[in-house]
Amino acid sequence: MSELVFFSGTMDCGKSTLALQIVHNRSARGLQGLIFARDDRAGEGKLSSRLGLVTDAVEARPGLDLYGRVVRELSQGGRVDYVIVDEAQFLAPEQIDQLARVVDDLDLDVFAFGITTDFRTKLFPGAQRLIELADRLETLQVEAMCWCGARATHNARTVGGQMVVEGEQVVVGDVDRSAEEVGYEVLCRRHHRNRMTSATARAAALSPDVLPIASA
């Protein structure tokens, strides 16, 4: 029986790599998938991983009817054995409903990949709808790590290395951006609560205020 499966995890935990691995494994068995992506680091219409792997994809723009796009592919003689959706947290709730319809009406597996919460620890609407509708929820086992070495559980937005907690929910960035740009960093809950990024931790370690005072 076909399923809607939501693979979730923090940034930098290998979601896109797993999506590409599924594509590779199924292609090796003669299956063909329709791949959707949104705001990928490699540019529009791409699905890429930080390991350097990349493939073409359909850009899941706001307002795109995902169910209709799959039906159009099939009606024009294309083959679709399954559907992959990367960065699914950016989709609108109604687009998640369309993915569920792909499973129920077209009997196709849909594998959605994304993060659940934003830099403010609030659920993305798309992720929330996936949690509500998915047949199966899978947490990725490759754990991202906070700068302190603990398991990273939260996504932090940074500007100039400083964590920010205000702004629009969706601002495209990456964990590989330079400190001067808008970027993201994965943190454990404790350091997310304390707004302590790797940059602020280094600054604190170098501050003369925390250096030991030599005895006379």
- Measured between alpha carbons, how far is 179 from 89 in angstroms, rounded to an integer? 25
CA angle (97 as vertex; 88, 50 as ends), nearest 5: 10
Is the CB of residue 23 less than 8 Å from the CB of residue 83?
A: no
Just list the catalytic residues: 87
